[in-house]
Structure 1
Amino acid sequence: MSTAPGSPQANIRQVAARAGVSHMTVSRVLNGHPSIAPATRERVLEAIRELDYRPNSAARALATRRSNRLGVIVESVVEFGPGSTVRAIEDAAHERGYTVSTITVDRTVTADDAIATLRAIGVDALCLITPRSESLELLRATADAVPTLVVASEPEAGLYTVAVDQRLGTRLALEHLVELGHRSILHLAGPLDWLDARARDREYAEHLERSGIPIRPVVVGDWTSDSGYAFGRSLGGRPDFTAVFAANDQMALGLVHALHESGIRVPDDVSVIGFDDLPDARHFLPPLTTVRQDFRALGSLAVDALLAGLEGGDVPSRSLIEPELVVRASTAPPRSA
């Protein structure tokens, strides 16, 4: 049986026929059942997309006593990483028949407020993206009530964790600089109450120590291009390092701008490497060497873990996605190498 995309008559049995599976298998895919083979899950999801199938959320909620809604708390959707993770989770949840309620923590909304609000509307599971330490402690109190997940690369007792491997990404960046011959590498860190920034900072110190390279005092920015620019201007045109590992691409962009204004050439005088691989990073001048994070895979992994937790499946307490080093023109051997 075939139904044109957008047809209001599309139902679960037509999805099953299109995918070549039973309607119970379609139901299990929609509910995130962990026993479905990846190839079967993708075939069902493709049929759902082709037929533009929309599960009856009200009926499912009555049958399962669930809201079919996931709650997401994010510290900032302004920054590229958190915003991209939210969108990826929304896309992955939608494919599985769930909606997402997102609350951003800021000066007017605390993490405590966000947790209370999401619990009040009856979400089936909770996810905290790019947490600060304080938010993480508040979230622990809800972990026994609903499946609770944190997007953080370090293990957190009592919580599911999924993340792009921040330590591996940092190692890839530093190994690249060391292989080029750099022995004076500065770290321009993000705010160290952010768990991802802390993980990158720790790996920076540990990797340089393992490599026998002096560890320089860390410079802390605030993720923005302005903070990278301010640091670059503070150097007065006389950097005493040959390379900078910036904790995100925005700070790297601001730094490159300031170095250029001061007559310091990148990468001839100073190499700069970022983290995230912004869509525009390849158009920086020079194009930025950076560490790419697969946010789409991260969102899918987070939703899979939460739905498996809802079904009582076997969920790894910690799952990591490997990042990728993207080498462009902002890094080169130091002139003295």
Structure 2
Amino acid sequence: MVDRRVSMADVAERAGVSGQTVSRVVNGSPRVDPDTRARVEAAMAALGYRPHRAARALRTGRTQTLGLVVSTLASVGNSRMLQAVADAAASRGYALTVVTLGPDASVADAFERLAEQGVDGAIVLNEATERLRGADVRAAGLRLVVVDSPRDDRFGVVVTDHAAGAESAVRHLLDMGHPTVHHLAGPAGSFAAAERERGWRAALDAAGARVPDLVRGDWTSASGWGAASTLLTAGATAVFAANDQMALGLLRGIAEAGRDVPGEVSVVGFDDVADAADYRPPLTTVHQDFDALGARAVAALVDGIEAGAPAAFETVPTRLVVRASTGPSAPAR
């Protein structure tokens, strides 16, 4: 025997209110006083009531579904953001539909697919934002929030303060006596990589330190490992890597060259991934708050969908986490 689905009438009877009042609570109407709303929500929780998504879509014209556009889920940052956005969407009562862009797909194609699935709005992540340049983002009629993009009046933007985080990493290394800091940069075309590079240059310029040639990676640990010999040949005693995965590969490459971290070379990463504290040695890194990014992006999108809130530009701060991969500059041999 299948249990009968809990109805609005059941909730209304338990809460001692009308079915219309329950409907108003379910649909987020402001025309319910706080005490009554709390009583209805308590009845819903006690009975295990779940609003019927399809029926609500017919009433409100909204599907309670958000889209997410991402270039790839292979990178740690993108997978962390997917989790953060999914959690934040669920907390607001929204489902999530994900579209990954292949190497040749346009962002317009992704928007068209999402519009066909009836999403109420979409979030665009990280490297996928590069494909918004020149795109007609209004064609699909979707409200958008973009994570990591320059300010743009066409959509809401939420960014990590990448430049400030990079500056804090470089200042930390300079304060430890290193004459300069080399940079293992992220891929060209990435907003985050460009902002972290900007912060690296700004900190060196402010200190009057030499700005070495950067070495470019692709976010992967393999590219960090491959960059190790180039950085060591250049005489690097301190390296700021644009993400933790590249820093991990760099640590391996330095160790294989018979050099000590941090005795001979100090390394700082960016992101503070879950495993950063378990690297060998534990990695000094810039903490990026993925949960806050996801929550703010979803809040901005949902507030726009439900209340018509204007598109805004928000910045999420970072903080430096000092561990054992950085140390004082060793005396010249």
TM-score for the superposition, normalised by structure 2: 0.84
Structure 2 match to 1:220: 216
What is the distance in 2 between the residues matched to 1:30 and 1:269?
61
TM-score for the superposition, normalised by structure 1: 0.83
One-letter amino acid matched to 2:203: H
SS state at 1:245 partner: strand
What is the distance in 1 between the residues matched to 2:181 and 2:195?
17
Alignment partner for residue 74 of structure 2, among 75, 78, 94?
78
Higher Cα Rg, which structure: 2
What is the distance in 1 between the residues matched to 2:164 and 2:331?
28
Alignment partner for residue 299 of structure 1, among 272, 294, 299?
294
Shift of 1:251: 0.3
Which stretch of the first structure deviates more once superposed, 280-289 or 55-64? 55-64
What is the distance in 2 between the residues matched to 1:219 and 1:69?
41
One-letter amino acid matched to 2:302: L
Query: Structure 1 residues 322 and 287 mapped into 2: Cα distance closer, same or farther (>3 Å)?
Result: same
Question: 1:179 and 2:175 equivalent?
Answer: yes
Alignment partner for residue 203 of structure 1, among 185, 199, 204?
199
Structure 2 match to 1:266: 261
Number of residue-to-residue matches in the alignment: 325
Which stretch of the first structure deviates more once superposed, 207-216 or 251-260? 207-216
Unaligned runs of 5+ in 1: 1-6, 35-40
Residues 48-99 of structure 1 deviation map (CA, whole Å, 9 limit, x = unaligned): 8887653221121011111221111001211111111111111111122211
Contact 1:223 1:251 in 2 (8 A): yes
Contact 2:167 2:202 in 1 (8 A): no
What is the distance in 2 between the residues matched to 1:299 and 1:26?
30
What is the distance in 2 between the residues matched to 1:197 and 1:268?
28
Shift of 1:146: 2.4
What is the distance in 2 between the residues matched to 1:183 and 1:281?
26
Contact 1:55 1:97 in 2 (8 A): no
Structure 1 match to 2:320: 325
What is the distance in 1 between the residues matched to 2:160 and 2:316?
5
SS state at 2:270 partner: coil
What is the distance in 1 between the residues matched to 2:174 and 2:97?
44
SS state at 2:133 partner: helix
Contact 1:30 1:96 in 2 (8 A): no
What is the distance in 2 between the residues matched to 1:173 and 1:25?
54
Question: 1:231 and 2:227 equivalent?
Answer: yes
Which stretch of the first structure deviates more once superposed, 136-145 or 288-297? 136-145
Residues 100-154 of structure 1 deviation map (CA, whole Å, 9 limit, x = unaligned): 1111112364433212211222211121100356412255522782211110153
SS state at 2:211 partner: coil
Question: 1:280 and 2:275 equivalent?
Answer: yes
Contact 1:233 1:258 in 2 (8 A): yes
Query: Structure 1 residues 300 and 205 mapped into 2: Cα distance closer, same or farther (>3 Å)?
Result: same
Contact 1:200 1:247 in 2 (8 A): yes
Structure 2 match to 1:38: none
Query: Structure 1 residues 32 and 216 mapped into 2: Cα distance closer, same or farther (>3 Å)?
Result: farther
What is the distance in 2 between the residues matched to 1:326 and 1:130?
23
Shift of 1:277: 1.1
What is the distance in 2 between the residues matched to 1:74 and 1:86?
9
Q: How does 1:38-117 map to 2 (within 5 A)?
A: 53-107=49-103, 109-117=105-113
Residues 156-198 of structure 1 deviation map (CA, whole Å, 9 limit, x = unaligned): 2322001222122212212221222222101111112111111
Unaligned runs of 5+ in 2: 31-36
Query: Structure 1 residues 144 and 109 mapped into 2: Cα distance closer, same or farther (>3 Å)?
Result: closer
What is the distance in 2 between the residues matched to 1:45 and 1:66?
21
Percent identity between matched residues is: 42
Query: Structure 1 residues 143 and 180 mapped into 2: Cα distance closer, same or farther (>3 Å)?
Result: farther
Contact 1:143 1:158 in 2 (8 A): no
What is the distance in 1 between the residues matched to 2:175 and 2:4?
59
Shift of 1:274: 0.5
Query: Structure 1 residues 88 and 14 mapped into 2: Cα distance closer, same or farther (>3 Å)?
Result: farther
